[in-house]
Structure 1
Amino acid sequence: MDKTMDQAGVERRSRVNIVQEKCRERGVDVAIFTSPENIYYLAGLDYEGYFCLHALLVPANGTPVLFARSIETPTVLRQAKDVQFIGYADNDDVPAAIASQLVAIAGKRPRVALQRNSAFNVAIDAPLRVALPNAEFLDSSGIVEEMRMVKSPFEIEQIKRAARISDIMIAAGIGTAGNGVTENSVAAEVYRAMISAGGQSPGFPPFIRSVDRICEPHITWTSREFKTGDSFLLELSGCIDRYHAPMARTGYIGPAPASASKLSAISNQAHLKALNALKPGALASDVHAAWRAHLHASNALPRLEHCGYTVGISFPPTWTGGPGINSLHGASTVQIREGMVFHLLTWITDDAGNDNFLSDCVLVEKSGGVFLTISPRDLAEV
């Protein structure tokens, strides 16, 4: 057996044990998880079939039960070896089948914890309450998300591999950009580099934008040609075994205006202020305060009111980790711990109409934050 797969299996079994212990502590008979990230974390199912309803039932004692479409049986049997699999046809009443399984596990008066922060919860919440009128329904949101915040050494290695691919992708994109080159040509080279380096398809596509489209955060390339004097942005992430390492760099076709270079310097300095504050024991709000203080002193205008968020496992349509995002913002009381991984970012603008977006994947070690993505952070000029 592949050592990576074996280690992942060992960790998943340990995670399930922890969830079951939490269920017993809370008097929960069965916890149900429906977000792709949580199912993958506990059961190991890594594929593109999450557009349909999935539900992982974790009983306080015993083997977890996974509901997914019957057509996915070969994939589930190969990947999710430590669960009981129940496949359903597209015309089946899935909530009724889940209700029947809950009764089989815990009787007609089960205490069930549903993952209410998941979009898929909508499909089963009301039907389960109708099918099980004597059940007590609680919330399982946050149980697995809290566990996922601190990465194991094995997980950190996957993120480091993803970070190396992110750097390769950035180098390919910047190296391709130039006068007369189209945005989609840059995208093609970024994808070529990503796939050649062993990367998986990430949760978000690479965001490749230029000039007046830079301020639109979640759009990507067009067939537009770069021209000398244009600004451009590459925000992207490598992905290995669903672990992500996002980063962003800003550049110019030809020499950058002096005002843009000044903004880049401010962005770099704010980025380092946040990194230096990212120490075990600090609060997320402390990191934000250090970052915000530098921007305020520099008269820079932030596009975002946070300077990053936790990352790790993620599935389309996001690399932010699905529900339960923990951002570095001014009101956050989340404590920074060794083993956390962040997409640390600074996106600022000025009165001259310049934008600078700088971001990196950062690991919190015992001594503080360290960059996992290492591409040059100065404003690119190509």
Structure 2
Amino acid sequence: MTGAPAVHLGQEAAFSRAVFDGRVTAARAALAARGIDVMVVTGPENIFYLTGQQTPGYYTFQALVLPVSGEPRFIVRQLESMNCRANTYLDDLVAYGDGDDPLALLSDITRKAAGPTGKVGIDKRGWFLPIGVYETLQGTLGDMVDAAGVIESLRAVKSPEEVAKIAQAARYVDAGIAAGYDAITAGATENDMVAAMLEAAVRAGSEYLGMEPLASSGPRSGVPHGTWKRRRFEAGDPVFLEMAACHDRYHAVLMRSAWLGTPPDDALRMMDACQRALDAALGAMKPGNTCEQVHEAAQAVIDAAGYTDAYRKRTGYSVGISFAPDWGEWQVASLFTGIKTELKPGMVFHVPPALRLYGAYTVGVSETVVVTEDGYRALGTIPRDLRVI
């Protein structure tokens, strides 16, 4: 339209051009070390990390062609091209229409970037690589090298700028959990509570989330990953609250527990075990220790308290860049048995010990923490005790 304001390259970018250039340079070095000449990047988290592109429209096909030598090219739906221009500094966008075949474009561009003998890498374990897409690319590009983990390894240690964004998201989470507590009254509903949580977090500054809050009450809270479902709070109810918030696609998460009335002794003992397990995990959260050691510190507390059968899960996971369907970075790092990844300053984890009497209630407590030079720093400010209302 004549006279319409222009969309400027990078006008809404989360970081400077220099930051993204540095990330691309590091990615190229990592690819070269693996003997990969060009990588097809399809995961929205990795695309954001390398370029800054973010949109709820990633359900349509998009792919970044990243050669070791030469400029990256981004294949994106035409409708998203202005969004991409605003969020990135990419000079070479290949926009396709809704009637076009983006895989034909991708195959042609990738083949030219790789050359006749170049190796093409792709994340074979990514959520956003459907079987049909992979088979089509295999038919046109031949066998591809599994490049899973190449970009994720670069995302593990956050820069001070990234940590600042996660810390900002943590402030939004604090607002949401505090509002959730205030909404827990007899006769109110789970929907009332979650509406208050989301409103407070969004008003505080949060953007759209990688995953919805996990919030439930009464016997429903005894089912893992339960969400709100119109149930009214009653006297004696347990209430479970867990939510994330987002700043520039960087997430922080917090889990808290409440009880409407006097909690039973069993719930208090389980909550005490969760508190001590969290303390033990955080005590092991220091550079040089491994992800496994953090988990084992928490697991030892759970085992000693007699709740081994109720704790068959990892103790935590990396957090940072996320798009639905998750608020965590499971591809980057997990705190669990067998994970020998060494902790380094700048890594960020959500650590959520929780115990359940299945079908009756869940209690748990968590923190989002940054690994520091001599330990950790918790980003949340909400007290960790079981909130009795």
TM-score of the two chains, using structure 1 as the length reference: 0.94
Distance 1:292 1:117, change over 3 A: same
Q: How far apart are 1:137 and its partner, in Å?
A: 1.8
Farther-moved stretch of structure 1 (137-146 vs 80-89)? 80-89
Distance 1:66 1:123, change over 3 A: farther
TM-score of the two chains, using structure 2 as the length reference: 0.92
Q: How far apart are 1:338 and its partner, in Å?
A: 1.1
Q: Distance in 2 between matches of 1:217 and 1:85?
A: 42
Distance 1:351 1:195, change over 3 A: closer
Is 2:27 aligned against 1:34? no
Q: How far apart are 1:351 and its partner, in Å?
A: 9.4
Picking from 80, 94, 100, the partner of 1:86 is 94
What amino acid is aligned across from residue 71 of structure 2 in structure 1?
A: T
Counterpart residue number, 2:211: 204
Distance 1:294 1:252, change over 3 A: same
Distance 1:57 1:293, change over 3 A: same
**Does structure 1 retain, via aligned residues, the 8 Å contact 2:114–2:120?**
no
Farther-moved stretch of structure 1 (173-182 vs 93-102)? 93-102
Unaligned runs of 5+ in 1: none
Distance 1:291 1:132, change over 3 A: closer
**Does structure 2 retain, via aligned residues, the 8 Å contact 1:263–1:350?**
no
Q: Deviations over 1:217-240 (max 9, x none)?
A: 333111111011000101101110
Farther-moved stretch of structure 1 (117-126 vs 187-196)? 117-126
Is 2:155 aligned against 1:148? yes
**Does structure 1 retain, via aligned residues, the 8 Å contact 2:223–2:359?**
no
Q: Distance in 2 between matches of 1:107 and 1:208?
A: 52
Q: Distance in 2 between matches of 1:372 and 1:237?
A: 13
What amino acid is aligned across from residue 27 of structure 2 in structure 1?
A: V
Farther-moved stretch of structure 1 (103-112 vs 201-210)? 103-112
The count of corresponding residues between Structure 1 and Structure 2 is 379
Counterpart residue number, 1:124: 133
Alignment of 1:65-144 (within 5 A): 65-121=73-129, 122-133=131-142, 137-144=144-151
Q: Distance in 2 between matches of 1:67 and 1:77?
A: 12
Q: Distance in 2 between matches of 1:105 and 1:3?
A: 29
Counterpart residue number, 2:24: 16
Q: Distance in 2 between matches of 1:23 and 1:326?
A: 20
Distance 1:371 1:3, change over 3 A: farther
Q: Distance in 2 between matches of 1:166 and 1:100?
A: 44
Distance 1:44 1:264, change over 3 A: same
Q: How far apart are 1:355 and its partner, in Å?
A: 2.5
Farther-moved stretch of structure 1 (250-259 vs 281-290)? 250-259
Q: How far apart are 1:26 and its partner, in Å?
A: 3.3
What amino acid is aligned across from residue 24 of structure 1 in structure 2?
A: A
Q: Distance in 2 between matches of 1:184 and 1:259?
A: 27
Q: Deviations over 1:255-309 (max 9, x none)?
A: 2223322222221111100000111111111111111111111112434421111
Q: How far apart are 1:352 and its partner, in Å?
A: 11
Q: How far apart are 1:52 and its partner, in Å?
A: 1.4
What amino acid is aligned across from residue 58 of structure 1 in structure 2?
A: L
Counterpart residue number, 2:173: 166
Q: Deviations over 1:141-168 (max 9, x none)?
A: 1011011111000000000000111111
Counterpart residue number, 2:53: 45
Q: Distance in 2 between matches of 1:107 and 1:350?
A: 58
SS at match of 1:234: strand
Aligned-CA RMSD value: 2.1
Counterpart residue number, 1:239: 246
Q: Percent identity?
A: 32
Q: Distance in 2 between matches of 1:12 and 1:69?
A: 22
Counterpart residue number, 1:320: 328
**Does structure 2 retain, via aligned residues, the 8 Å contact 1:245–1:361?**
yes
What amino acid is aligned across from residue 340 of structure 1 in structure 2?
A: M
Unaligned runs of 5+ in 2: 1-7
Q: How far apart are 1:252 and its partner, in Å?
A: 0.7
